[in-house]
Protein backbone atom coordinates (compact mmCIF):
# COMPACT_ATOMS: atom_id res chain seq x y z
CA UNK A 1 0.00 0.00 0.00
CA UNK A 2 1.03 3.63 -0.41
CA UNK A 3 1.36 5.93 2.58
CA UNK A 4 0.84 9.63 1.77
CA UNK A 5 1.80 12.42 4.16
CA UNK A 6 1.99 16.20 4.04
CA UNK A 7 5.03 17.76 5.70
CA UNK A 8 4.79 21.46 6.56
CA UNK A 9 8.12 23.21 5.95
CA UNK A 10 8.72 26.77 7.13
CA UNK A 11 10.71 28.91 4.69
CA UNK A 12 13.15 31.75 5.21
CA UNK A 13 11.97 34.26 2.58
CA UNK A 14 14.16 37.38 2.23
CA UNK A 15 12.64 38.65 -1.06
CA UNK A 16 9.25 39.47 -2.64
CA UNK A 17 9.40 36.86 -5.38
CA UNK A 18 6.99 34.47 -3.65
CA UNK A 19 4.48 37.24 -2.91
CA UNK A 20 4.49 38.26 -6.58
CA UNK A 21 4.15 34.63 -7.64
CA UNK A 22 1.14 33.99 -5.38
CA UNK A 23 -0.56 37.19 -6.53
CA UNK A 24 -0.12 36.22 -10.18
CA UNK A 25 -1.18 32.62 -9.57
CA UNK A 26 -4.32 33.96 -7.86
CA UNK A 27 -5.13 36.15 -10.86
CA UNK A 28 -4.76 33.11 -13.08
CA UNK A 29 -7.04 31.05 -10.85
CA UNK A 30 -9.72 33.75 -10.87
CA UNK A 31 -9.44 34.13 -14.66
CA UNK A 32 -10.01 30.38 -15.05
CA UNK A 33 -12.74 30.48 -12.40
CA UNK A 34 -14.72 33.08 -14.36
CA UNK A 35 -14.59 30.91 -17.48
CA UNK A 36 -15.71 27.83 -15.55
CA UNK A 37 -18.51 29.77 -13.86
CA UNK A 38 -19.80 31.20 -17.15
CA UNK A 39 -20.10 27.70 -18.59
CA UNK A 40 -22.58 26.96 -15.81
CA UNK A 41 -21.47 23.44 -14.98
CA UNK A 42 -18.26 21.61 -13.99
CA UNK A 43 -15.64 21.48 -16.72
CA UNK A 44 -12.82 18.99 -17.17
CA UNK A 45 -9.27 20.16 -16.49
CA UNK A 46 -8.19 19.41 -20.06
CA UNK A 47 -10.97 21.52 -21.55
CA UNK A 48 -10.33 24.35 -19.09
CA UNK A 49 -6.61 24.22 -19.83
CA UNK A 50 -7.28 24.71 -23.55
CA UNK A 51 -9.41 27.76 -22.76
CA UNK A 52 -6.90 29.40 -20.40
CA UNK A 53 -3.39 28.24 -21.28
CA UNK A 54 -2.42 30.98 -23.75
CA UNK A 55 -3.65 33.78 -21.49
CA UNK A 56 -1.87 32.36 -18.45
CA UNK A 57 1.40 31.94 -20.36
CA UNK A 58 1.41 35.09 -22.48
CA UNK A 59 -0.40 37.64 -20.31
CA UNK A 60 0.47 36.48 -16.79
CA UNK A 61 3.86 34.92 -17.57
CA UNK A 62 3.10 31.76 -15.61
CA UNK A 63 5.37 28.82 -16.37
CA UNK A 64 3.94 25.93 -18.38
CA UNK A 65 3.38 23.53 -15.48
CA UNK A 66 1.85 26.26 -13.33
CA UNK A 67 -0.66 27.05 -16.07
CA UNK A 68 -1.63 23.38 -16.12
CA UNK A 69 -1.94 23.35 -12.33
CA UNK A 70 -4.30 26.34 -12.45
CA UNK A 71 -6.70 24.45 -14.70
CA UNK A 72 -6.57 21.32 -12.53
CA UNK A 73 -7.22 23.22 -9.30
CA UNK A 74 -10.09 25.31 -10.63
CA UNK A 75 -11.70 22.33 -12.35
CA UNK A 76 -11.48 20.33 -9.13
CA UNK A 77 -12.95 23.19 -7.10
CA UNK A 78 -16.04 23.41 -9.32
CA UNK A 79 -16.49 19.63 -9.24
CA UNK A 80 -16.47 19.85 -5.44
CA UNK A 81 -19.00 22.67 -5.62
CA UNK A 82 -21.25 20.54 -7.84
CA UNK A 83 -21.13 17.66 -5.35
CA UNK A 84 -22.22 20.10 -2.63
CA UNK A 85 -25.04 21.32 -4.88
CA UNK A 86 -26.16 17.72 -5.44
CA UNK A 87 -26.40 17.34 -1.66
CA UNK A 88 -28.35 20.63 -1.46
CA UNK A 89 -25.53 22.14 0.61
CA UNK A 90 -24.69 24.96 -1.81
CA UNK A 91 -25.66 26.66 -5.08
CA UNK A 92 -23.83 27.50 -8.31
CA UNK A 93 -21.60 30.48 -7.64
CA UNK A 94 -18.42 32.18 -8.77
CA UNK A 95 -15.48 30.85 -6.75
CA UNK A 96 -12.88 33.39 -5.68
CA UNK A 97 -9.26 32.44 -4.98
CA UNK A 98 -7.08 34.50 -2.63
CA UNK A 99 -3.32 34.94 -3.22
CA UNK A 100 -2.44 32.59 -0.37
CA UNK A 101 -1.44 29.34 -2.09
CA UNK A 102 -0.12 27.85 -5.33
CA UNK A 103 0.49 24.28 -6.47
CA UNK A 104 3.87 23.08 -7.73
CA UNK A 105 5.00 19.87 -9.45
CA UNK A 106 8.13 18.08 -8.24
CA UNK A 107 11.26 18.56 -10.35
CA UNK A 108 9.52 20.78 -12.92
CA UNK A 109 8.57 23.46 -10.37
CA UNK A 110 10.43 22.60 -7.18
CA UNK A 111 13.22 20.49 -5.76
CA UNK A 112 14.84 19.83 -2.38
CA UNK A 113 18.54 19.52 -1.68
CA UNK A 114 19.70 19.29 1.91
CA UNK A 115 18.10 22.08 3.91
CA UNK A 116 17.18 24.11 0.81
CA UNK A 117 14.01 24.29 -1.28
CA UNK A 118 14.41 25.46 -4.87
CA UNK A 119 11.23 26.76 -6.46
CA UNK A 120 10.28 28.31 -9.80
CA UNK A 121 9.12 31.93 -9.53
CA UNK A 122 8.26 34.53 -12.17
CA UNK A 123 11.85 35.76 -11.88
CA UNK A 124 13.32 32.29 -12.33
CA UNK A 125 14.47 29.57 -9.95
CA UNK A 126 14.96 30.73 -6.35
CA UNK A 127 16.34 28.92 -3.30
CA UNK A 128 14.98 29.20 0.24
CA UNK A 129 16.31 27.76 3.47
CA UNK A 130 14.10 25.33 5.41
CA UNK A 131 13.87 26.64 8.98
CA UNK A 132 12.56 23.35 10.41
CA UNK A 133 14.84 21.06 8.40
CA UNK A 134 15.80 18.86 11.37
CA UNK A 135 12.13 18.09 12.08
CA UNK A 136 11.58 16.92 8.49
CA UNK A 137 14.98 15.38 7.81
CA UNK A 138 13.74 11.77 7.80
CA UNK A 139 11.56 12.54 4.78
CA UNK A 140 14.65 13.44 2.73
CA UNK A 141 16.41 10.06 3.03
CA UNK A 142 15.50 8.94 -0.49
CA UNK A 143 12.74 6.51 0.55
CA UNK A 144 9.90 8.99 -0.10
CA UNK A 145 8.52 10.10 -3.47
CA UNK A 146 7.44 13.74 -3.74
CA UNK A 147 4.05 14.65 -5.21
CA UNK A 148 2.42 17.92 -6.28
CA UNK A 149 2.80 20.25 -3.30
CA UNK A 150 1.63 23.69 -2.18
CA UNK A 151 3.29 26.96 -1.29
CA UNK A 152 1.14 28.67 1.35
CA UNK A 153 1.12 32.14 2.89
CA UNK A 154 -0.19 31.89 6.45
CA UNK A 155 -2.12 34.63 8.22
CA UNK A 156 0.92 35.63 10.25
CA UNK A 157 2.78 36.49 7.05
CA UNK A 158 5.06 33.44 7.15
CA UNK A 159 5.60 31.23 4.10
CA UNK A 160 5.27 27.46 4.37
CA UNK A 161 5.74 24.72 1.81
CA UNK A 162 3.26 21.87 2.25
CA UNK A 163 5.31 18.99 0.87
CA UNK A 164 3.21 15.98 -0.16
CA UNK A 165 5.20 12.76 -0.15
CA UNK A 166 4.42 9.09 -0.65
CA UNK A 167 6.05 5.84 0.37
CA UNK A 168 5.25 2.23 -0.42
CA UNK A 169 4.87 0.14 2.72
CA UNK A 170 3.91 -3.54 3.01
CA UNK A 171 0.26 -4.31 3.65
CA UNK A 172 -0.35 -5.68 7.13
CA UNK A 173 -2.72 -8.65 7.14
CA UNK A 174 -4.85 -8.90 10.26
CA UNK A 175 -4.62 -12.71 10.00
CA UNK A 176 -0.94 -12.41 10.90
CA UNK A 177 -1.69 -10.29 13.99
CA UNK A 178 -1.27 -11.73 17.48
CA UNK A 179 -1.75 -8.80 19.86
CA UNK A 180 -4.66 -6.41 19.44
CA UNK A 181 -5.79 -3.04 20.75
CA UNK A 182 -9.26 -1.54 20.79
CA UNK A 183 -9.69 2.24 20.72
CA UNK A 184 -12.93 3.83 21.90
CA UNK A 185 -13.38 7.53 21.10
CA UNK A 186 -15.84 9.69 22.98
CA UNK A 187 -16.83 13.06 24.39
CA UNK A 188 -15.97 12.52 28.08
CA UNK A 189 -12.56 11.09 27.23
CA UNK A 190 -11.19 11.65 23.75
CA UNK A 191 -9.80 8.12 23.50
CA UNK A 192 -9.42 4.98 25.59
CA UNK A 193 -7.19 2.09 24.53
CA UNK A 194 -7.29 -1.51 25.75
CA UNK A 195 -4.94 -4.29 24.61
CA UNK A 196 -5.19 -8.08 24.49
CA UNK A 197 -2.89 -8.16 27.53
CA UNK A 198 -5.41 -6.00 29.46
CA UNK A 199 -3.22 -2.90 29.34
CA UNK A 200 -5.45 0.19 29.37
CA UNK A 201 -4.83 3.90 28.98
CA UNK A 202 -7.06 7.01 28.89
CA UNK A 203 -6.13 9.93 26.62
CA UNK A 204 -7.20 13.61 26.88
CA UNK A 205 -10.13 13.80 29.25
CA UNK A 206 -11.75 16.67 31.10
CA UNK A 207 -9.36 19.42 30.02
CA UNK A 208 -10.48 19.01 26.41
CA UNK A 209 -14.14 19.11 27.37
CA UNK A 210 -13.58 22.20 29.53
CA UNK A 211 -11.82 24.02 26.70
CA UNK A 212 -14.69 23.32 24.32
CA UNK A 213 -17.25 24.37 26.92
CA UNK A 214 -15.52 27.76 27.19
CA UNK A 215 -15.65 28.21 23.41
CA UNK A 216 -19.28 27.10 23.36
CA UNK A 217 -20.19 29.70 26.00
CA UNK A 218 -18.43 32.41 23.97
CA UNK A 219 -20.46 31.39 20.94
CA UNK A 220 -23.76 31.35 22.85
CA UNK A 221 -22.99 34.76 24.38
CA UNK A 222 -22.55 36.27 20.92
CA UNK A 223 -25.58 34.51 19.50
CA UNK A 224 -27.75 35.70 22.40
CA UNK A 225 -26.50 39.28 22.14
CA UNK A 226 -29.44 39.89 19.82
CA UNK A 227 -30.60 43.25 18.53
CA UNK A 228 -28.28 45.13 16.24
CA UNK A 229 -25.19 43.14 17.20
CA UNK A 230 -26.32 39.69 16.14
CA UNK A 231 -25.54 39.08 12.48
CA UNK A 232 -23.29 42.12 12.13
CA UNK A 233 -19.90 41.85 10.50
CA UNK A 234 -18.24 42.28 13.88
CA UNK A 235 -20.13 39.39 15.47
CA UNK A 236 -19.60 37.16 12.44
CA UNK A 237 -15.86 37.86 12.46
CA UNK A 238 -15.70 37.00 16.16
CA UNK A 239 -17.65 33.77 15.65
CA UNK A 240 -15.36 32.86 12.77
CA UNK A 241 -12.28 33.48 14.94
CA UNK A 242 -13.71 31.27 17.70
CA UNK A 243 -14.41 28.50 15.20
CA UNK A 244 -10.91 28.81 13.76
CA UNK A 245 -9.25 28.64 17.18
CA UNK A 246 -11.34 25.62 18.10
CA UNK A 247 -10.52 23.80 14.88
CA UNK A 248 -6.79 24.44 15.29
CA UNK A 249 -6.93 23.38 18.93
CA UNK A 250 -8.69 20.09 18.16
CA UNK A 251 -6.37 19.33 15.25
CA UNK A 252 -3.33 19.85 17.49
CA UNK A 253 -4.86 17.70 20.23
CA UNK A 254 -5.80 14.95 17.77
CA UNK A 255 -2.25 14.89 16.41
CA UNK A 256 -0.81 14.51 19.92
CA UNK A 257 -3.36 11.92 21.06
CA UNK A 258 -2.94 9.84 17.90
CA UNK A 259 0.83 9.92 18.33
CA UNK A 260 0.51 8.82 21.97
CA UNK A 261 -1.98 6.09 21.03
CA UNK A 262 0.33 4.58 18.42
CA UNK A 263 3.29 4.79 20.82
CA UNK A 264 1.21 2.97 23.45
CA UNK A 265 0.46 0.32 20.82
CA UNK A 266 4.10 -0.15 19.81
CA UNK A 267 5.24 -0.19 23.46
CA UNK A 268 2.82 -3.08 24.08
CA UNK A 269 3.69 -5.05 20.95
CA UNK A 270 0.31 -4.46 19.28
CA UNK A 271 0.09 -5.68 15.68
CA UNK A 272 -3.52 -4.64 14.90
CA UNK A 273 -5.69 -1.74 16.11
CA UNK A 274 -9.47 -1.91 16.03
CA UNK A 275 -11.64 1.21 15.94
CA UNK A 276 -15.35 1.91 15.55
CA UNK A 277 -16.80 2.49 12.10
CA UNK A 278 -18.21 5.95 12.71
CA UNK A 279 -19.78 6.42 9.27
CA UNK A 280 -22.87 8.62 9.69
CA UNK A 281 -22.45 8.40 13.49
CA UNK A 282 -23.78 11.95 13.96
CA UNK A 283 -26.96 11.22 12.02
CA UNK A 284 -27.50 7.97 13.92
CA UNK A 285 -26.93 9.35 17.40
CA UNK A 286 -27.59 13.10 17.50
CA UNK A 287 -31.27 12.68 18.41
CA UNK A 288 -30.13 10.62 21.41
CA UNK A 289 -28.03 13.48 22.79
CA UNK A 290 -29.64 16.08 25.02
CA UNK A 291 -29.93 19.64 23.68
CA UNK A 292 -27.47 20.79 26.35
CA UNK A 293 -24.71 18.60 24.89
CA UNK A 294 -25.77 18.72 21.22
CA UNK A 295 -23.00 21.22 20.34
CA UNK A 296 -20.24 19.07 21.87
CA UNK A 297 -21.57 16.02 20.05
CA UNK A 298 -21.99 17.56 16.60
CA UNK A 299 -18.73 19.53 16.60
CA UNK A 300 -16.51 16.75 17.92
CA UNK A 301 -13.86 15.70 15.36
CA UNK A 302 -14.93 12.05 15.22
CA UNK A 303 -13.15 10.93 12.08
CA UNK A 304 -10.12 13.20 12.20
CA UNK A 305 -8.64 11.50 15.25
CA UNK A 306 -9.22 8.07 13.72
CA UNK A 307 -7.63 9.18 10.44
CA UNK A 308 -4.55 10.42 12.32
CA UNK A 309 -4.32 7.15 14.25
CA UNK A 310 -4.69 5.13 11.05
CA UNK A 311 -1.89 6.73 9.06
CA UNK A 312 0.47 6.84 12.05
CA UNK A 313 -0.28 3.18 12.83
CA UNK A 314 0.29 2.07 9.24
CA UNK A 315 3.58 3.95 9.17
CA UNK A 316 4.55 1.99 12.29
CA UNK A 317 3.61 -1.30 10.61
CA UNK A 318 0.37 -1.83 12.55
CA UNK A 319 -2.80 -3.00 10.79
CA UNK A 320 -5.99 -0.96 11.31
CA UNK A 321 -9.52 -2.37 11.14
CA UNK A 322 -12.94 -0.78 11.64
CA UNK A 323 -15.73 -2.72 13.34
CA UNK A 324 -19.45 -2.21 13.91
CA UNK A 325 -19.79 -0.08 17.08
CA UNK A 326 -23.27 -1.35 17.95
CA UNK A 327 -23.66 -2.26 21.64
CA UNK A 328 -19.93 -1.89 22.42
CA UNK A 329 -20.80 0.38 25.36
CA UNK A 330 -23.64 -1.86 26.63
CA UNK A 331 -22.00 -5.29 26.38
CA UNK A 332 -20.32 -6.82 29.42
CA UNK A 333 -16.76 -7.81 28.40
CA UNK A 334 -16.84 -10.63 30.96
CA UNK A 335 -20.16 -12.43 30.30
CA UNK A 336 -21.31 -10.73 27.04
CA UNK A 337 -24.67 -9.71 28.55
CA UNK A 338 -26.14 -6.75 26.62
CA UNK A 339 -28.34 -4.19 28.34
CA UNK A 340 -28.80 -0.42 28.38
CA UNK A 341 -29.02 -0.73 32.15
CA UNK A 342 -25.39 -1.87 32.31
CA UNK A 343 -24.21 1.69 31.79
CA UNK A 344 -24.94 4.74 33.91
CA UNK A 345 -22.95 7.73 32.69
CA UNK A 346 -19.26 6.86 32.99
CA UNK A 347 -19.95 3.92 35.31
CA UNK A 348 -20.46 0.37 34.03
CA UNK A 349 -21.94 -2.41 36.13
CA UNK A 350 -23.22 -5.58 34.51
CA UNK A 351 -26.71 -6.34 35.81
CA UNK A 352 -26.09 -10.06 35.25
CA UNK A 353 -22.58 -10.86 36.57
CA UNK A 354 -21.83 -7.67 38.53
CA UNK A 355 -18.65 -6.75 36.62
CA UNK A 356 -17.74 -3.08 37.26
CA UNK A 357 -15.35 -0.66 35.56
CA UNK A 358 -15.23 2.67 33.68
CA UNK A 359 -17.78 2.70 30.85
CA UNK A 360 -15.32 4.03 28.26
CA UNK A 361 -12.89 1.24 29.14
CA UNK A 362 -15.66 -1.27 28.43
CA UNK A 363 -16.07 0.18 24.95
CA UNK A 364 -12.35 -0.20 24.21
CA UNK A 365 -12.31 -3.76 25.61
CA UNK A 366 -15.25 -4.82 23.44
CA UNK A 367 -13.68 -3.27 20.35
CA UNK A 368 -10.49 -5.21 21.06
CA UNK A 369 -12.54 -8.42 21.48
CA UNK A 370 -14.32 -7.91 18.16
CA UNK A 371 -11.06 -7.13 16.37
CA UNK A 372 -9.50 -10.29 17.79
CA UNK A 373 -12.58 -12.34 16.87
CA UNK A 374 -12.36 -11.02 13.32
CA UNK A 375 -8.80 -12.31 13.04
CA UNK A 376 -9.96 -15.86 13.85
CA UNK A 377 -13.00 -15.60 11.56
CA UNK A 378 -10.79 -14.54 8.66
CA UNK A 379 -8.30 -17.30 9.42
CA UNK A 380 -11.05 -19.94 9.50
CA UNK A 381 -12.30 -18.69 6.12
CA UNK A 382 -8.85 -18.70 4.64
CA UNK A 383 -8.75 -14.91 4.58
CA UNK A 384 -11.55 -14.83 2.00
CA UNK A 385 -13.31 -11.91 3.68
CA UNK A 386 -11.34 -8.71 3.28
CA UNK A 387 -10.89 -6.28 6.22
CA UNK A 388 -13.09 -3.55 4.62
CA UNK A 389 -16.00 -6.01 4.93
CA UNK A 390 -15.35 -6.50 8.62
CA UNK A 391 -18.22 -4.41 9.91
CA UNK A 392 -20.86 -6.65 8.39
CA UNK A 393 -19.44 -9.64 10.24
CA UNK A 394 -20.72 -8.05 13.43
CA UNK A 395 -23.83 -6.36 12.08
- 47-56 pLDDT per residue, tens: 999 999 999 9
Whether 394 has a pLDDT exceeding 60, the answer reads no
For residue 231, the model assigns a pLDDT of: 57
For residue 230, the model assigns a pLDDT of: 52
pLDDT-based confidence at residue 172 (cuts at 50, 70, 90): confident
322: helix, strand or coil = strand
Whether 145 has a pLDDT exceeding 80, the answer reads yes
Residue 238 placed within a domain: no
Residue 252 placed within a domain: no
Residue whose C-alpha is closest to residue 361's, from 180, 210, 197, 182: 182
Q: Would you say 395 and 370 are in contact if contact means Cβ atoms under 8 Å apart?
A: no
Residue 215 placed within a domain: no
Percent over 90 (pLDDT), the chain? 66
Distance CA 395, CA 262 (A): 27
User: Greater confidence, 321 or 247?
Assistant: 321
Q: Is residue 199 domain-shared with residue 346, that is, in the same domain?
A: yes
Distance CA 128, CA 259 (A): 30
Taking residues 328-349, what's their average pLDDT?
Answer: 94
Whether 271 has a pLDDT exceeding 90, the answer reads yes
- Of 84-88, 170-174, 222-226, 365-369, the poorest mean pLDDT is in 222-226
Percent over 70 (pLDDT), the chain? 84
For residue 300, the model assigns a pLDDT of: 58
User: Greater confidence, 136 or 284?
Assistant: 136
- Residue finishing a domain among 143, 168, 193: 168
For residue 186, the model assigns a pLDDT of: 82
Taking residues 272-277, what's their average pLDDT?
Answer: 94
Residue 285 placed within a domain: yes
The 10 Å CB-count burial string (b at 16+, else e) for 276-297 is bbbeebeeeeeeeeeeeeebeb
For residue 392, the model assigns a pLDDT of: 40
Q: Is residue 19 domain-shared with residue 131, that is, in the same domain?
A: yes
For residue 377, the model assigns a pLDDT of: 85
Residue whose C-alpha is closest to residue 358's, from 181, 209, 188: 188
Taking residues 318-337, what's their average pLDDT?
Answer: 94
> How many domains, in total, are found in the chain?
2
Q: Is residue 142 domain-shared with residue 70, that is, in the same domain?
A: yes
CA 146 from chain center: how many Å? Answer: 20
Residue whose C-alpha is closest to residue 193's, from 253, 265, 259, 254: 265
Whether 76 has a pLDDT exceeding 90, the answer reads yes
112 phi/psi in degrees, rounded to 5: -130, 130
For residue 281, the model assigns a pLDDT of: 56
Residue 76 placed within a domain: yes
Q: Is residue 201 domain-shared with residue 112, that is, in the same domain?
A: no
Q: Would you say 297 and 331 are in contact if contact means Cβ atoms under 8 Å apart?
A: no
Q: Is residue 193 domain-shared with residue 106, that is, in the same domain?
A: no
User: What pTM does this model have?
Assistant: 0.74
Q: Is residue 269 domain-shared with residue 316, that is, in the same domain?
A: yes
CA 147 from chain center: how many Å? Answer: 18
Residue 114 per-residue DSSP state: T
Residue 217 placed within a domain: no
Helices (H), the chain: 17-39, 45-58, 64-86, 133-136, 206-224, 233-267, 281-285, 294-299, 302-315, 359-380, 390-393
Largest CA distance in the chain: 79
Q: Would you say 131 and 112 are in contact if contact means Cβ atoms under 8 Å apart?
A: no
pLDDT-based confidence at residue 198 (cuts at 50, 70, 90): very high
β-bridge pairing 116-121 and 180-185:
unpaired
Whether 232 has a pLDDT exceeding 80, the answer reads no
Q: Is residue 318 domain-shared with residue 368, that is, in the same domain?
A: yes
Which domain range does residue 71 map to? 2-168
Angle subtended by helix axes 45-58 and 64-86, to nearest 10: 140
Q: Exposed/middle/buried for 306, CB within 10 Å: 0-12, 13-18, 19+?
A: buried
Mean pLDDT of the chain: 86
pLDDT-based confidence at residue 97 (cuts at 50, 70, 90): very high
- Residue finishing a domain among 168, 191, 223: 168
Which residues, in sequence order, are CB contacts of 103 under 8 Å at separation 6+? 66, 69, 72, 73, 148, 149, 150
Q: Is residue 96 domain-shared with residue 198, that is, in the same domain?
A: no
Taking residues 303-331, what's their average pLDDT?
Answer: 92
- Residue finishing a domain among 168, 187, 219: 168
Tell me, what CATH number does 331's domain have? 3.30.420.140
Q: Is residue 197 domain-shared with residue 143, that is, in the same domain?
A: no
Residue 221 placed within a domain: no
Other Cβ atoms closer than 10 A to 317: 11
- Of 62-66, 87-91, 214-218, 284-288, the poorest mean pLDDT is in 284-288
- Of 200-204, 272-276, 333-337, the poorest mean pLDDT is in 200-204
- Of 118-122, 164-168, 190-194, 249-253, the poorest mean pLDDT is in 249-253
Whether 391 has a pLDDT exceeding 70, the answer reads no
Looking at the chain, the number of H-run helices and the number of E-run strands are 11, 16
Residue 27 placed within a domain: yes
Q: Alpha carbon of 227 to those of 223, 224, 235, 239, 241: distances in Å? A: 10, 9, 12, 16, 21
Distance CA 157, CA 131 (A): 15
Q: Is residue 195 domain-shared with residue 308, that is, in the same domain?
A: yes
User: Greater confidence, 164 or 224?
Assistant: 164
Taking residues 102-111, what's their average pLDDT?
Answer: 94
Q: Is residue 115 domain-shared with residue 193, that is, in the same domain?
A: no
Q: Is residue 23 domain-shared with residue 135, that is, in the same domain?
A: yes
Amino acid sequence: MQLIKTIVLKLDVPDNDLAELLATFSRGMNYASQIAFDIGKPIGSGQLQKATYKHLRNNLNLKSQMACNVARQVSGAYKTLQSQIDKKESEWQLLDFDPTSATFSFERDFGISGDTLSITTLAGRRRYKLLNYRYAQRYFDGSWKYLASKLCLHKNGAYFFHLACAKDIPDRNIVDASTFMGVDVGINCLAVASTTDKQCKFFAGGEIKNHRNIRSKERRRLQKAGGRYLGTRSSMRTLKKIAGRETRFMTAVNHKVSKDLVKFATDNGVSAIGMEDLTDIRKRTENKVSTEFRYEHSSWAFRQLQAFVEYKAKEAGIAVIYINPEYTSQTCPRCNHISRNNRRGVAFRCEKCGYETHADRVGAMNIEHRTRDLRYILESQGGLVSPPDATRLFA
